Amino acid sequence: MLLAGWFAGVCGRRERSRIGKLRRRKISPFANVAAEQLEMKTLLSNIAVTSQAGVISVVGEASDTVDHTLTASVVGGQLELTDTAGADLTFNGTTAATVDVPLPTTLKAIHIDLPGAGNNTVSVDATDLPKVSGNFSVNLGSGTDSFTLTNATVKGGVIVSAGNGNDSITLSNDTTGEVSIKAGNGTDTIQLMQDTTKEVEIKLGNGVDTISISNDTTGAVSLRAGNGGDTITLSNDTSGKVALSTGTGNDTIQLTSDTAGRVAINSGAGDDAIMLSNVTLQAKVQLGGDDADEGHDGRNSHDDDHGNGDDHGHGHGNGHGNGNSQGNDDQNDDLTEDGGDDGEHDDDRSPVLLSINSGAGNDTVQLNSVVGMGHGSGGSKWQIDLGTGNNTLTMNSDTNPGFLNVSAEGTGNNAVTINNSTFGKNVVISLPNGKEQISLTGDTFGHPVFLSTGTGSGSNISVDDSTFSKLTKFTMAGDNAVLNLEATDTAAGTGTEFQGPVQISQAGASGAVNLGTNTVGDSLVFDKLLKITGGSPAAVLTVADANTTFNGPVVLNQATRIDV
């Protein structure tokens, strides 16, 4: 007994001495205990689950750094939630890795909030889940996160937000109101598949992002990706208006077999690739909350002919270019009697049905079997701005009942190729000051056409197997410009006919105009006035008489004619 008392006294004196030393050093004697308790709390990383007034909430902790793998599905008429990694779920005072939440009679909303910095994976299979009358919202926090929602019916919106990190978000086979997805910087992947939605809005930060929407029916679609080499793919969708934009980087944007109200594409600086294939553009469409019917014909869809007069010339040729090609210079010089209103290029009031702006860089734009249709499409406009750089535009088998306006900027070398396409209203292709190329083959133009190249030397315009119903103007400002009309065909075709007057201007030195000089016998017919104005030295006009027919006067200024 005496020995035990002595030992307790010694231990007590030692503990009092240790505490005294800690206090003199201003250190709490209970700090280690508190730290151990905090560490245990962090490792447990509890997630609170509540169900109140028809709202189910799953809420983590803001300071959480644990990686969560949370799954949710309906089992036995209840919403079963399981976190298989790093956390316990607490519901109605019970804490476990799996909890079952009774489903309310009216499910008003579901909120999942994991605001921490862990790498979270959330998967929700909504099969047999009642319709959510309000919103389904998810906050994934920062980290490399993943969210999947399938088979859900949500009357309100599906709202998903993720911070910085490489995030993956997938919605499939859902019927929802508005879908709003926002993610920060990182390599993000967003997929929507077989959904029916009222509207889709996706905004991503900088990074090499991928956005894919396939087999969806929706209203308006707005997709915005930041800087980085982004990929946006839409396929087999039916939607209202579509707005796609990317930042700096080599981006790829592709629409395949889609039907849309209006399409606007803006890609930032970089070498971008934009392709529309088998796309139908509806001038007036009403889906979901889309206001695409704004795209009505602001010009009352009247078929402005921009002139129907005849050429009224006085010096007619004799059918194959052997007549007086120096006809009277006062004969319809300005060509205003058949659509030559020089403010005529298109109507700025026309709604834009298709808009592409590819920005700076060497861009490639392809339109294959794109069709404009619907009420007001004849008064709408396709507008393509290739920006600066060495750009390529290819159009194959397209049908545009309205206006077409193609432009570029700078001194890059641009190439525009249009094959087997039909245009209902004015067509304007205006290329800048590089070595430009415009090639038209197998096309039909219902209204005036205006093709121009800038001051760069050696630009080329060629036309084969096409029909021009109204006024056609070729304007080439650079030296050594070459215009080939039915001059380069290597396979027999239908030939080319200009049913309205034609004006050719080559203001630079030593221009060349070649008419009908093909080797396969394709015909070239001018039904009305042909006027050619060259520069200094004069342009050279070469006419293959066997293939070329003039049914109207030919007027030459600063141009020398050679018949072959």
Rounded Cα distance, 277 and 197, in Å: 23
- Please, are residues 464 and 489 in contact by the beta-carbon 8 Å criterion? yes
- For residue 418, give the nearest of 367, 372, 473, 380 by alpha carbon: 367
Residue 151 sits in the same domain as residue 291: no
Residue 6 within a domain = no
Rounded Cα distance, 20 and 441, in Å: 97
**Residue 282 CA: distances (Å) to CA of 242, 279, 346, 379:** 11, 10, 20, 12
Q: Which amino acid is at 444?
A: T
Residue 266 sits in the same domain as residue 409: yes
The residue ranges of the chain whose pLDDT is under 50 are 1-4, 6-8, 10-11, 14-15, 18-19, 22, 25-43, 289-344
- For residue 414, give the nearest of 364, 450, 368, 481 by alpha carbon: 364
Q: What are φ and ψ of residue 10, in 5° steps?
A: -60, -45
Residue with tokens 């919605």: 171
pLDDT digits (tens, 9 = 90+) for 5-34: 544 454 455 445 544 554 554 444 434 433
Structural domain span for residue 140: 41-197
Residue 307 within a domain = no
Q: In this predicted structure, what is the pLDDT of residue 164?
A: 95
Distance of CA 405 to the CA centre of its chain: 17
Predicted TM-score of the model (pTM)? 0.84
Residue 438 within a domain = yes
Q: In this predicted structure, what is the pLDDT of residue 144?
A: 96
- Please, are residues 442 and 467 in contact by the beta-carbon 8 Å criterion? no
pLDDT digits (tens, 9 = 90+) for 191-215: 999 999 999 999 999 999 999 999 9
Residue 151 sits in the same domain as residue 254: no
Q: In this predicted structure, what is the pLDDT of residue 45?
A: 66
Rounded Cα distance, 323 and 499, in Å: 19
Residue 185 sits in the same domain as residue 249: no
368: helix, coil or strand?
strand
Residue 203 within a domain = no
Rounded Cα distance, 518 and 50, in Å: 80
Which helix (DSSP H) or strand (DSSP E) does residue 274 occupy?
Answer: strand 273-277
Q: In this predicted structure, what is the pLDDT of residue 453?
A: 98
- Please, are residues 357 and 330 in contact by the beta-carbon 8 Å criterion? no
Q: Which amino acid is at 156?
A: G
Residue with tokens 């869809």: 301
Residue 505 sits in the same domain as residue 544: yes
The count of structural domains within the chain is 3
Residue 469 within a domain = yes
Beta strands in 53-139 (DSSP E): 55-59, 69-75, 78-83, 88-91, 94-96, 98-102, 109-113, 121-125, 136-139
Q: In this predicted structure, what is the pLDDT of residue 46?
A: 84
